[in-house]
């Protein structure tokens, strides 16, 4: 059962053709926070708890957005143009890469770290609630003005087709809590949720994907 705050699976659902017992799209409607342009970690945790209680014999895959941009744990303002409408041309990471935004990398790292710190207590509380074995990892890393071999250029964010340690080295934390539950495989239980393409695009824009 996939509990996801990220619209990417929905965006590429036909190409990926992934098959789950159920997919809970937290980013649709009620789970989305318009003020921050993201799904808050406490919201993802709430949906994950509900899924774990409903599907006692299923593995639960929970996809948080944080520490992914936008920086909800920061008081910075220069990264919010895509949300308040003051800049709807290039996404945040592209503006840094092009030099349109000239920001000290330390400022970005601190904002990124605060975003992670904002989410970790909610991840920890969920870990303590789940029975059996829980693994905490990430789908990718992030580059903050680092050089990408073999191209002599500096990179921000996590662009496609760049194979460097900063992007592919991820954590792998294993947490044990009580007995492992018995997993039962079954066919999908609900039809695919649908939402207007415009909503998907808006969500991805807020998250800095498009």
pLDDT digits (tens, 9 = 90+) for 47-101: 999 999 999 999 999 999 999 988 886 777 666 655 555 555 567 788 888 888 8
Distances (CA, A) of 80 to 8, 70, 71, 94, 104: 21, 8, 9, 14, 17
Q: How does pLDDT run across 113-143, given as a tens digit for each residue? A: 999 999 999 999 999 999 999 999 999 999 9
Q: Residue 187 has what pLDDT?
A: 93
The percent of residues above 90 in pLDDT, for the chain, comes to 57
DSSP state, residue 87: -
Give the pLDDT of residue 85: 52
pLDDT of residue 61: 97
Q: What is the pLDDT of residue 96?
A: 86
Q: Give the start-end residues of each E strand in the chain.
A: 2-4, 23-25, 61-63, 132-136, 143-147, 154-157, 173-177
Q: Round the average pLDDT of the chain to a whole number and report it.
A: 88
**Distance set, CA 158 to CA 46, 93, 137, 168, 187 (Å):** 28, 9, 16, 10, 34
> Is the CB of residue 9 less than 8 Å from the CB of residue 23?
yes
Alpha-carbon gap, residue 142 to 155, rounded angstroms: 9
């Amino acid at each position: 059962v996939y509990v996801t705050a990220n619209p990417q699976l929905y965006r590429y659902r036909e190409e990926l053709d992934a098959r789950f017992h159920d997919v809970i799209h937290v980013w649709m409607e009620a789970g989305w926070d318009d003020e921050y342009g993201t799904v808050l970690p406490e919201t993802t945790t709430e949906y994950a708890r509900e899924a774990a209680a409903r599907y006692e014999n299923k593995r639960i895959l929970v996809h948080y957005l944080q520490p992914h941009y936008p920086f909800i744990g920061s008081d910075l303002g220069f990264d919010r143009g895509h949300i308040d409408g003051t800049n709807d041309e290039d996404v945040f990471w592209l503006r840094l890469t092009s030099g349109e935004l000239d920001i000290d990398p330390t400022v970005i790292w601190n904002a990124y770290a605060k975003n992670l710190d904002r989410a970790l207590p909610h991840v920890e509380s969920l870990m303590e609630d789940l029975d059996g074995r829980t693994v905490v990892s990430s789908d990718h890393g992030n580059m903050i003005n680092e050089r990408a071999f073999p191209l002599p250029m500096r990179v921000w964010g996590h662009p496609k087709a760049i194979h460097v340690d900063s992007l592919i080295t991820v954590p792998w934390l294993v947490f044990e809590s009580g007995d492992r539950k018995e997993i039962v495989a079954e066919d999908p239980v609900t039809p695919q949720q649908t939402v207007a393409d415009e909503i998907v695009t808006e969500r991805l824009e807020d998250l800095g994907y498009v």
